[in-house]
Amino acid sequence: MSTLTMKERLRGFGISFEKSLEDLIKGIRATNSDHEKLASFFERSIQECKNELKSPDLEVKSIAILKLAYLEMYGFDMSWCAFSILEVMASPKFQHKRIGYLAANQILQRQNNDDALIIHYDRLIERLDDDDSSVVSATVNVLCELAYMNPSNYIDLAPKFYKIMKESNNNWMMIRILKLFSSLSLIEPRLKNKLLPEIKAFMVNTKALSLQYECINAILNGNMLSPDDIDTAKLIVSNLLVFFASGDQNLKYVGLLAFIKTCKINQDLIKKHDKIILSSIYDNDITVRETSLEIVNSLVNEHNIVPIITRLTVQLLPYNDQKEQLDKINKKVLAQNSGQDSDDDTDTYIIGATQQPIVVSQKYKYLLVSKIIEICSMNNYENIPSFRWYLGVMTDILKLNVDNKISKIDKMITDQFVDIALRVPSVRHTLVNICFSLCGILEYTGRELLQFKEGLGNCMWIIGEYYDSYLQGESDSDSDSEPDSDSDSFSALQKQELKDLKQSKLSISEIIDTISKQNILSKLEQLDSYDIITTYVGAIAKMYSKFTSTYACGGDLSVSQLEFVKNSCLGVIEILSQFETSSNFELQECALSYVEILKLVDNSLENVLDGIKNTETSSASLPTFLTEGYNQLFLSYPLMPVGASAQEKVKIPDGLDLNAAIDEQATKEAVLIVDDDDTPARQNSTTVKQNNLTADALNLADIDLKKSEEHYPVGDEYQVEEETRKKKEKAGVDGIKIEVPSVALSAARKKPKKKAKKNVAIIE
C-alpha cells in the first residue's frame, strides 16, 4: 500500500498528515531570526502546498489555498494556483467557499493577454465552422465577450454569425448571438434591415421566455427600434404582457425594464398602457416599484395628475390607512371599467393583488416624495389644477412626515413653498397661514418644533417676506396679480376694511409672545443653528415693518394705537437684544443692526406721543423715520424672480478692465514695503498707507455702486448692497482698523469682480 493511499484512508478517521495554517505560522516564527532558514522554510512550504493541490480531496486543497493566501502576504506570487482557487470556490461546503473567495480576492488578477489573442485569432475564428455544436457555442461565447469590449473589430464576422443564427436550434447559442448582434448594430446601423425581420420572427415562433426577452433586448439595445416603427413596438409590448402576467418576479422586473425602454422610444405607448406602470408602483418587489417611478412622470397631464398623485401619496400612509384608501380607489376603478367597453387586455391584470397595501422603506418614501414634487413642478407647474391643491398635497406630506421622520423632506417641501411664494402672489396669504401653523405660531400646542428644524428657516422667511399679504387678506383666484394697498385705487372704504381685517389677524406682538413661549430660539442656539436664528431675526424685523405700514393705511392713529405700535417696537427690541452678544458674527451683526435702528424708531414714536400731549390733539400719523426710513428698508423694491439667462445679458461696461489694478501707485508702494525689512518704522509706514488706502477704497466703493445700479437686472438689488458692504468692510469702514499687509490689500484690488449670484427663484 502506497503512502498516499494510506494517508487518504486515515484522513477519514480525522488523522491528517498535512501542515495546517497554524503549523505554518509556528514554523515561520521559529525560523524568523535566521534569514537563510526562513527562506528555506518558505520554499519547502510552497512545494508542500503544490503537492497538496494535486490531491482530489477538497479539504486538503482548501487548507493548501489558505496557506498560500497567507504566504502571498510575504510577497510571493501565487497567481499560478488560480485554477485550484476556482475549484475550491466551486465546493458545496461553505467553509471551502469562504477560503476560495478570500484567496480569489487576494491572489487572482485581471490579466489581458492581447498578444495570445492576436497569435491565435485565426484559429479561434476557424472554430465557428466546427462540426461540433458545443465547440461553436463556446467560440461564440468568447467572441461575444470580446465584441462587447470593442465591437468594431468583429463587423466582418457578421455574415458568419447570421448564418449560425439562421441554422441553429440551440437557444443558448441564439441568446449569445443576439447579444453579439446588439453590439455590432451600434457600429453598423445597416445591419438593422437584415436582422430585424429575423429577430421578429424568432419572437413570434419561440415559446421560450428567455429567448423572447433577448430578442426584445437586442432590438432595444441595438437601436433597431425607431419612433415611427409602430408595428415592432406593439409586438414588443404584446410579448412583454406575458412577463407581467407571470408570477415570476424576475420576469416581471426585466419585462418592466424593457417596457420602459420601449415607451421612451415610442411615447404613444405610455398612455395606452399606463395601467401597467401604475400597477407596478404597488408591486411587492421593491426593485419593481423603484423602476416604475422612473417613467411615471411621462404619464402625467392636466387631466390625470390628481389620481396619479393620489396613488403615489397613499403609499406614505400607515398600513391600515393605506388599505382603507386603496379599497376606495379600487372600487372606483372597478366601477369605471365595468361601465366601459375596452379592448385593452391589461385591465384584468390591473384589478388584482397588485393594488394591495404595502410596507415601504424610508428610502423608497424619500424617492416617492421626490417624484411627487418632480411631477407637479415640471414645466413650471403647468399640469396642476391649482396652486392651493398643490399646497394641500405638500402640507399633507409634511403632516405624514411627523410620523415617518424622513430626513430632508421638510427642507425639500419648504423649498417648494418658497418657490411658489415668489412666483404666485395670489397664494401668499395661504402660504403664510400654512407656515404659521408649521412653526406653531397660529396655535401654540407645545409641540417640539426641533423635529421640524429643517423647514423652520424657509417658513420663517416666507412669514417675514409676505406678512403684509397675510394682513391684507386672501385673494379669490390663482391669478398672478395682487392689490397694492398703497395705490390710489384703494378707496377710503377699502382702507377701512383693511383696518378691520387686520384686527382678526395675528399682530406682531402676538407672534413675538408665541415665539418667546416656545423658547425655540434658545434651543436652536444650543444646537448652533445660527442660520435659522438669523432668519428668525430678519423675519421679525420685517414683520414689524409690514405690520406698521398696513396698520396705518395712510391715516392718522389714535393715542392708544400709537402706544400699541410703540409697545410692539419694544417687544421686537427685547427679543432681538438677546443675540447682540452672540458668538456667531453674522447673527450678532444682524441683531445689533436691527436693535439700534428700532431704538431710533422707538424714540421717534415717543416724540409723536409727546407732541400729541403738548398740542392736545387726539391723533397723529406715524413718524417719518418709521414710514420713510425703517419701512423703506423692506418695502423699497419688491422681490422678483430672475430669469436663468438674465445675468448673461449684463454687459461689461466699455473701458472696464477687470484685470487692471485700481490704484497703480498704491500697488507699487505695497511692493516696495514688502521688499523692506520687518522694522518698527516699516510697520508705522504700513499703518499710515493703510489709512490712506481706506479712504480711497471707500470712495471707489461708492462710485462703483452708482455704476453697478445701472447694470443689475430686476431682483438683484440685494447683490448691489452686498457687494458694497463687502468692499467697505475690506476698506475698514466705520473707523474699524483692519491690520492686514498692504500687499494683501493691493492683491485684493487686483482680483476680478465676481458675478452676482442668481436669485433663488428662476422662471424659464
* pLDDT tens-digit readout, 189-200: 888 888 999 999
- 222 secondary structure, DSSP code: T
Q: Map residue 161 onto helix, strand or coil.
A: helix
- Give percent of the chain with pLDDT exceeding 90: 22
Which pTM was predicted?
A: 0.64
How deeply is 641 buried, as exposed, middle or buried, from its count of CB atoms within 10 A (0-12, 13-18, 19+)? middle
pLDDT band of 671, cuts 50, 70, 90: confident
Owner of C-alpha cell 449684463: 650
* pLDDT tens-digit readout, 364-381: 899 999 999 999 999 889
Mean pLDDT of the residues in the chain: 77
In a domain, 744, yes or no: no
In a domain, 96, yes or no: yes
Q: What is the mean pLDDT of residues 569-597?
A: 93
In a domain, 147, yes or no: no
Instruction: Report in angstroms the alpha-carbon separations of 66 from 25, 36, 49, 106, 108.
Output: 12, 24, 10, 11, 14
In a domain, 734, yes or no: no
- 418 secondary structure, DSSP code: H
Q: Is the pLDDT of residue 347 over 50?
A: no
The pLDDT assigned to 537 comes to 94
Q: Is the pLDDT of residue 65 over 80?
A: yes
The pLDDT assigned to 634 comes to 87
Closest by CA to 749, choosing from 696, 713, 691, is 696
Longest dimension (CA), the chain: 132
Among the candidates 641, 670, 692, a domain finishes at 641
- Which stretch of DSSP H or E encloses residue 619? strand 619-620
- Domain carrying residue 623: 435-474+505-641
* pLDDT tens-digit readout, 536-563: 999 999 999 999 888 777 678 888 889 9
In a domain, 542, yes or no: yes
Q: What is the mean pLDDT of residues 240-264?
A: 84
Among the candidates 129, 164, 179, a domain finishes at 129
In a domain, 11, yes or no: no
Question: Distance from CA of residue 758 to its chain's centroid?
Answer: 20
Where b means 16+ CB within 10 Å and e means fewer, 231-257 reads: ebbebbbebbbebbeeeeeebbbbbbb
The pLDDT assigned to 394 comes to 94
Give the number of other Cβ atoms within 10 Å of residue 46's Cβ. 17
Q: Is the pLDDT of residue 487 over 60?
A: no
Closest by CA to 464, choosing from 532, 565, 391, is 532
Determine contact, residues 232/238, Cβ cutoff 8 Å. no
Q: Is the pLDDT of residue 488 over 50?
A: no
The full DSSP string for 75-106 is T---GGGHHHHHHHHT-SSHHHHHHHHHHHHH
Q: Is the pLDDT of residue 387 over 90?
A: yes
Rounded CA gap, 337 and 326, in Å? 16
**Number of domains observed in the structure of the chain:** 2
Torsions phi, psi for 608 (to 5 deg) = -65, -45
The pLDDT assigned to 277 comes to 77
Give the number of other Cβ atoms within 10 Å of residue 520's Cβ. 24
Among the candidates 129, 157, 188, a domain finishes at 129
In a domain, 491, yes or no: no
Q: Is the pLDDT of residue 17 over 60?
A: no
In a domain, 583, yes or no: yes
* pLDDT tens-digit readout, 610-637: 888 888 788 888 898 998 889 888 887 7
* pLDDT tens-digit readout, 87-129: 999 898 999 999 999 998 888 776 655 866 778 788 888 888 8
